């Protein structure tokens, strides 16, 4: 069974610095990490490998600059078997449609597979659109917000997913796409053996030519959306401040405030 896990390198969220004049991210000053939510996708793939009765081979796939190779090695250190990097200047500036298109094109070139697994969203773009868009483009079934892998075999998988309204148990034929949430379970840590393997594994790189697509199909030129402007949100509201001499006085103010608004 072949499994592809999609991972992305993102800036560490709390350390983002913005260039005040251009409104863009100062990428060079930011530490790049594996998208934290992708760790759960890797964890899910490893759980599936354990649950599946036969042989399973997990390939982590990423798209990004050459440096994004790091996240593939991290995935291998956790237990993935191989890594593929989509990297070319022409891929830069892709929106979710163009990103999905590029990944879909790659996947069509690779060996047949049972599952494509993604995290819920990336912490930089926060769209969560690449998984379902990829499924749409490849005409595959997708199960989003997967919280548990119940059963897996060659034909189908039984999964639990969580929505605002409750829990669903779904059965999906394979091949298919699933996106997983944090509920899937704490991601395991890299092992020493994994780290050694990660160092020695060759990461296969696909550029524009190797992928066999034209410049205008990918990256910014292949994107259907355009960013018009970037700006800071305006916040305005007036308030007043009291300095409580002790907790009792503070609480009395809060209770009075709640009473005035018929909460109490």
**Binders of other proteins in range 47-106 (CB under 8 A):** 95-97, 100
Of the candidates 141, 111, 112, 133, which has an alpha carbon nearest to the alpha carbon of residue 204? Answer: 111
Instruction: Determine the 3-state secondary structure of 146 from DSSP.
Output: strand
Q: Are 6 and 131 in contact (CB under 8 A)?
A: yes
Q: Which CB, 202 or 241, lies closer to other proteins?
A: 241
Using the minimum distance from each CB to other proteins, give the nearer residue, 76 or 146: 146
Q: Which residues pair with 179 in a beta bridge?
A: 118
Q: Is 255 in the site for other proteins (CB under 8 A)?
A: yes
Euclidean distance between CA atoms 101 and 59, whole angstroms? 19
Indicate the residue among 92 and 244 with the shorter CB distance to other proteins.
244
Q: Which stretch in 53-61, 70-78, 109-117, 131-139 sits in contact with other proteins by CB under 8 A?
A: 131-139
CA distance 100 to 127: 12
Q: Determine, following the binding rule CB under 8 A, whether residue 264 of this chain makes contact with other proteins.
A: yes
DSSP structure class, residue 67: G
**Do residues 151 and 167 make contact, with C-beta atoms less than 8 angstroms apart?**
no
Stretch that binds other proteins, among 48-56, 70-78, 127-135, 198-206 (CB under 8 A): 127-135
Report the alpha-carbon distance of residue 229 to residue 138 in Å, rounded.
32
**Where in 105-124 is the site for other proteins (CB under 8 A)?**
123-124
Determine how many CB atoms are found less than 10 A away from the CB of residue 94.
22
Regarding 239 and contact with other proteins (CB under 8 A), the answer is yes
Find the helix or strand (DSSP H, E) in which 38 lies: helix 38-51
- Which span sits near other proteins by CB under 8 A: 68-76, 197-205, 212-220, 226-234? 226-234
Which among 44-52, 77-85, 128-136, 188-196 is the span making contact with other proteins, rule CB under 8 A? 128-136
Binding piece for other proteins, criterion CB under 8 A, among 12-20, 61-69, 196-204, 205-213: 12-20
Q: Please, which residues bridge with residue 63 across strands?
A: 86
Binding to other proteins in span 15-44, by CB under 8 A:
16, 18, 23, 25
Does residue 158 touch other proteins according to CB under 8 A? yes
CB-count burial class (<10 Å; 0-12, 13-18, 19+) for 183: middle
Residue 76 token pair: 């291998």
Site residues for other proteins, 164-193, by CB under 8 A, read 164-173, 176, 182
Q: Which residues, 188 to 217, sit near other proteins by CB under 8 A?
A: none
The footprint of other proteins on this chain (CB under 8 A) covers a number of residues equal to 79
């Amino acid at each position: 069974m072949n499994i592809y896990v999609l991972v992305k390198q993102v800036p560490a969220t709390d350390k983002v610095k913005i260039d005040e004049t251009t409104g863009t991210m100062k990428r060079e000053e930011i530490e790049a990490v594996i998208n934290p939510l992708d760790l759960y996708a890797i964890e899910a793939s490893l759980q599936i490998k354990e649950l599946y009765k036969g042989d399973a081979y997990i390939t982590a796939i990423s798209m990004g600059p050459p440096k994004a190779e790091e996240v593939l090695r991290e995935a291998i250190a956790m237990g993935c078997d191989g890594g593929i990097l989509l990297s070319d200047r022409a891929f830069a500036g892709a929106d979710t449609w163009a990103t999905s298109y590029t990944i879909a094109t790659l996947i069509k070139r690779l060996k047949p597979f049972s599952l494509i697994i993604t995290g819920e969203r990336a912490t930089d773009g926060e769209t969560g659109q690449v998984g379902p868009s990829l499924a749409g483009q490849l005409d595959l079934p997708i199960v989003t917000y997967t919280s548990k892998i119940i059963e897996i075999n060659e034909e189908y998988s039984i999964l639990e997913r969580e929505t605002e309204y409750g829990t669903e148990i779904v059965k999906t034929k394979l091949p298919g796409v699933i996106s997983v949430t944090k509920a899937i379970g704490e991601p395991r840590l890299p092992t020493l053996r994994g780290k050694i393997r990660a160092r020695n594994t060759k990461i296969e790189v696909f550029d524009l030519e190797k992928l066999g697509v034209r410049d205008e199909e990918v990256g910014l030129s292949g994107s259907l959306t355009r960013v018009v402007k970037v700006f800071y949100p305006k916040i305005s509201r007036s308030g007043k401040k009291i300095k409580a001499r002790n907790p009792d006085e503070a609480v009395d103010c809060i209770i009075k405030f709640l009473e005035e608004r018929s909460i109490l």
